[in-house]
Amino acid sequence: MSINIAEFNPEQLANEYSKQSPAAIIKLALDKFENIAISFSGAEDVVLIDIATKIKPDVNVFSLDTGRLHAETYRFIEQVREHYGLEIDVLSPDAEAVQNLVRTKGLYSFYKDGHKECCSIRKVVPLRRKLMALDAWITGQRKDQSPDTRNAVPVVEKDAAFSTADKNLYKFNPLSNWTSAQVWEYIRSNDVPFNALHEQGFSSIGCEPCTRAVLPNQHEREGRWWWEEATQKECGLHVGNLKK
Amino acid sequence: MRITFVKKIKADGSPCRKCAEVQARLEKDGYIDEIARTVIADERDTDSEGMQLAKQFDVDRAPFFIVENEGQEPGIYTVYFKLVNEVLRGKTNEQDAAKDIMDANPDLDFL
């Protein structure tokens, strides 16, 4: 069943579902939208697929192949495809844009210039193209992934990044209130397949050159873009002392 | 229509890299004359006009644009390509738009 999107009220539903289980939030998403897909990164967000396929066995799933993922991640995406009998739409970056980047800046420009240029070409452009064709998407984003940026991850929201003046896009974050420990408890209890990199100390998994294993009790963010300094993340306006 | 461009001076007194980049793009794309006023949000001075505007409009990112039309609530744009597409009715390069999206949405790092 799909709804009249004009009547969809994400703020109201975010309040209503803020304490609900991921399964309830995924069911809401799949009940409300037909043109919806799960974004699967090849990591522990596999729990979204495990839960969703119990509700809708042929749920739409897509994955962003940046061309720089670990071999373990490619193998895991295949394992998930076979395990759940799903079609996974694996999205590739624009070849010409990647060639231009590599030709002008080399294969490892992100170590010098920061990761955003490469990520925008290999990840965000294909993602944006995919999302333009959807009404809603489901992500594995959690509040505990980055204490500084994830303070507010509503379980459902209007997607401010990818909505346009002509079309609203809605985003469901069913794992928002789960901790990493809860995700892993679910994976173990339900015999969910997982990426072999997790057994090697990788907590957050992205592209191979930009991801490293972390030590016990290190925050997962420390395994990503560790060479970048805080000064490169400077867009925030520090108005804390101005707030009412 | 009146557009105010708010750019930032960081707490250490240095200019904001993204603000300089956006200003250069405004000039390169031929939109700089559409900007009625440029205002500084100086993180060392909470009374600076830009900091007060950030407080008034509850904005926590820089740069940002305030778009005022008579008889309407002001519109706030924190992403350059959205200002160009939705207000100035122009087009932006797909890669520049993606980079703007990344700058404004650090959460996307985790996809």
Q: How high is the pLDDT of residue A230?
A: 52
Q: How high is the pLDDT of residue A88?
A: 97
Q: Which of B86, B97, B111 sits opposite A64 (nearest CB)?
A: B111
pLDDT tens-digit profile, chain B (111 residues): 999 999 999 989 998 888 999 999 999 999 999 999 999 999 999 999 999 999 999 998 899 999 999 999 999 999 999 999 889 988 888 888 898 888 888 778 777
**Interface check A70 vs B, CB under 8 A:** no
Q: How high is the pLDDT of residue B42?
A: 94
Q: How high is the pLDDT of residue A30?
A: 97
Q: How high is the pLDDT of residue B37?
A: 96
Buried b (16+ CB within 10 A) or exposed e, A30-68: bebbeebbbbbbbbbbbbbbbbbbeeeeebbbbbbbbeb
Global pTM reads 0.85
Q: How high is the pLDDT of residue A203?
A: 87
**Interface check A66 vs B, CB under 8 A:** no
Which residues in chain A come in under a pLDDT of 70? 1-6, 146-151, 229-244
A104 φ, ψ to 5°? -85, -30
Q: Mark which residues 13-52 of B lie under 8 Å from A by CB.
A: 16-18, 41, 43, 46, 51-52
For residues A28 and A134, give the distance between their C-alpha atoms in angstroms, rounded to a whole number.
16
Contact A97 B86 (CB under 8 A): no
Read off the amino acid at residue A56.
K
For residues A106 and A209, give the distance between their C-alpha atoms in angstroms, rounded to a whole number.
13
Q: Is A210 a catalytic residue?
A: no
